[in-house]
Structure 1
Amino acid sequence: MYNFDFVKPSSIADAVAALGEEDAQALGGGQTLIPTLKQRLASPTTLVSLSGIPEMKGCCLDGNTLSIGGATIHADVAADGTIPALSDLAANIGDPAVRNRGTIGGSLANNDPSACYPAAALGLGATIVTNAREIAADDYFQGMFTTALDEGEIIVNVKFDKPEAANYQKFEQPASRFALVGVFVAKTADGVRVAVTGASEDGVFRWSAAEDALNGNFSADALNGMAPDADGMISDLHGTSEYRAHLVGVMTRRAVAACG
């Protein structure tokens, strides 16, 4: 590690002002940033902690819309239960230490290609609310570790409309508990959405062919024999691109079946 300043603002306005300073970096739960600093892969002059901003914490249901503050830890999302599939997803992120430090805003801002929350946000058609604007999930995710966030922009909260049915299935890498493949299926009044994480070199994506099949027949049988193209899938020591493509089909069918 190296020397840096640390500030902990108590309001969104103060956090945005602090992030306007040269080489300042936002700090959520630190589950990605702290290891990055230890490896000297990043060298901000100031860390701006978002953990002391009350309006960025907690879950709130307004009508059919669940709003989750960007600084809300995974454990609190897991305990909420308003959208069971989302709470179950949060309950199976990492281990207790990670779930009591990591935040939903930090995960979405980092957009790791194997993280779980991006699949939930894209699968549920979430709205990412920042200090400056609202961004639809379909426009937010722009590739591996890449999002629509501008420099200094922070995720204030995330809005999810309650689905008619939803389920998340994760085939996890046992050492890290990241998704080797994770699939979030949601059935809404506007149709079925299928979001896949852990599989693609471009990060989280919607599997449109599966959505088309499920909009015609919402059952696991509608996906028999289906799998996305292996081109562009991640291939590493944990699994080939063909293996991941096969898993996407398997986990999608399991998610649909679990929607009951």
Structure 2
Amino acid sequence: MTKPAYKRVLLKLSGEALMGDDAYGINRSTIERMVADVAEVAKLGVELAIVIGGGNIFRGVAPGAQGMDRATADYMGMLATVMNSLALADAMRQAGLTSRVMSAIAIEQVVEPYVRPKALQYLEEGKIVIFAAGTGNPFFTTDTAAALRGSEIGAEIVLKATKVDGVYSADPNKDRNATRYATISFDEAIAKHLQVMDATAFALCRDQKLPIKVFSIVKPGALKNVIMGDDEGTLVHV
């Protein structure tokens, strides 16, 4: 078997990716399919860490959060990521995978706190580490958490899993002539005003020379294709 292209990766999942066709919440069949994709990668011996968003949970309370203080809303969002992380870890357990959830905010009765040496130990032991609660600070997105944790654990690449199969020259839903980039540099993406990640996360990845691969988590097997170095999605590099 051909060896994986990467030894250690950080997978960034959006909360919305867990919804499937539902309006909000977690679609069980969707999360089980994603876990099956993760299991394929884990069997290759790849050390895998995951950061997951909370948008799917927060959507259900969003109408009541209108006019709310931004910091308060962000803390609610962090709690939503903890809920998603627990659901993902449980689905992994049922699939026979060993994972650990580590939170950036203290909820020790539920999940253990994030401690970098412990996270590295888990990865080296072959466990999947799920980083919850973003960075633990308001005003920072889970994209930034992915860039930060990816840098901290020495990930070779950040895999940004979305519902779109890469970075396009224009919105492919609005422009039929939009073309997907196979590769693009950080500087080119900035010059072309392409939205890959939020500005803080993007700048951190560029400064740390940490490449980003944008691909579709909706496509079965796409995660494995990325790990094997196949032409899947868009690679953003220095």
Greater share of residues in helix: 2
Q: TM-score, normalised by structure 2?
A: 0.29
Higher strand share: 1
Structure with larger Rg:
1
